[in-house]
């Protein structure tokens, strides 16, 4: 199914009946990453899973959106499909959007189940060679095609996999990853379950603990043997952890 929201054609899937449960996927992924969990939830919830603009089958945003624009799109999407309020299960980038949605439109959100949630910028030192190479790359970029070639070669050595594969979505990625949601966490009072893979190297457990400390009404559950995609790495353990919180069978 498709909905036209915020100037974008947004693909989404909907199944089941009962209280709504909104699935929000991570960066570089789509609604399909949640498919096994989505189908299990649809046994006694109305499961709704959109592809964010720029991912999956949804058209890209009309300009370089930040998290706030994605949250506003999500609110308008819910309005359009007739959902007054919903629990949210969100992963990584989707958790960023869920947090901003809860803060900006608290009436739209029930409980929050966030896994591998992005949004916390932990203080960490950047190796000197990376800082130096980044400055050289920026400087080289102003010298026409040869300089751009040098810049791209340098960035290919120091940039993240997400940055290198972002393509046309790169301006959105740069905007989003430079947003620190720490200041808004105390303003969110929704009951929140944080689920973290013990071996998550993308959003580390330290970030999970920091987020848990910042939120007013949260608890942290750690899933051993799981990484950033805890719901795929350890599906049964993950389901057990969210079952009671989300009222699943």
Closest to 73 in 3D by CA, of 108, 117, 36? 108
Number of helices and strands in the chain (H, E): 10, 8
- Which CATH number does 2-121+180-246 carry? 3.40.50.1820
Domain boundaries, the chain: 2-121+180-246, 128-169
Q: What is the pLDDT along the chain (249 residues), one digit of tens a residue?
A: 999 999 999 999 999 999 999 999 999 899 999 999 999 999 999 999 999 999 999 999 999 999 999 999 999 999 999 999 999 999 999 999 999 999 999 999 999 999 999 999 886 544 443 444 445 445 555 555 555 554 454 444 434 465 445 667 888 988 998 899 999 999 999 999 999 999 999 999 999 999 999 999 999 999 999 999 999 999 999 999 999 999 998
How many angstroms separate the CA atoms of 7 and 139, rounded? 36
E strand segments, 77-226:
86-91, 109-115, 192-197, 218-223
Closest to 211 in 3D by CA, of 126, 115, 125, 124? 115
Under 8 Å between Cβ of 41 and 231: no
> Residue 161: its pLDDT value, please?
61
Which letter, b or e, does each residue of 151-190 get, where b requires 16 or more Cβ atoms within 10 Å of its Cβ? beebbeebbeebeeebeebeebbeebbebebeebbeebeb
């Amino acid at each position: 199914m498709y909905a036209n929201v915020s100037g974008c054609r947004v693909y989404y899937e909907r199944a089941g009946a009962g209280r709504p449960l909104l699935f929000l996927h991570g960066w570089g992924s789509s609604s399909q990453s949640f498919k096994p969990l989505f189908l299990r939830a649809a046994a006694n919830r109305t499961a709704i899973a959109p592809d964010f603009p720029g991912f999956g089958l949804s058209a890209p945003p009309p300009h370089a959106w930040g998290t706030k624009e994605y949250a506003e799109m999500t609110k308008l999407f819910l309005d359009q499909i007739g959902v007054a309020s919903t629990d949210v299960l969100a992963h990584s980038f989707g958790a960023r959007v869920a947090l901003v949605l809860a803060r900006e439109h608290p009436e739209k959100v029930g409980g929050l189940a966030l896994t591998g949630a992005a949004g916390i910028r932990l203080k960490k030192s950047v190796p000197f060679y990376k800082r130096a190479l980044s400055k050289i790359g920026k400087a080289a970029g102003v010298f026409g095609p040869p300089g751009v070639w040098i810049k791209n070669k340098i960035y290919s050595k120091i940039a993240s996999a997400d940055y290198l594969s972002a393509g046309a979505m790169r301006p959105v990625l740069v905007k989003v990853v430079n947003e620190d949601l720490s200041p808004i966490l105390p303003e969110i009072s929704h009951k929140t379950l944080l689920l973290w893979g013990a071996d998550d190297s993308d959003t580390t457990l330290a970030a999970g603990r920091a987020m848990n400390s910042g939120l007013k009404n949260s608890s942290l559950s750690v899933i051993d043997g799981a990484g950033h995609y805890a719901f795929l790495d350890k599906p049964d353990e993950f389901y057990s952890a969210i079952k009671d919180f989300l009222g699943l069978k």
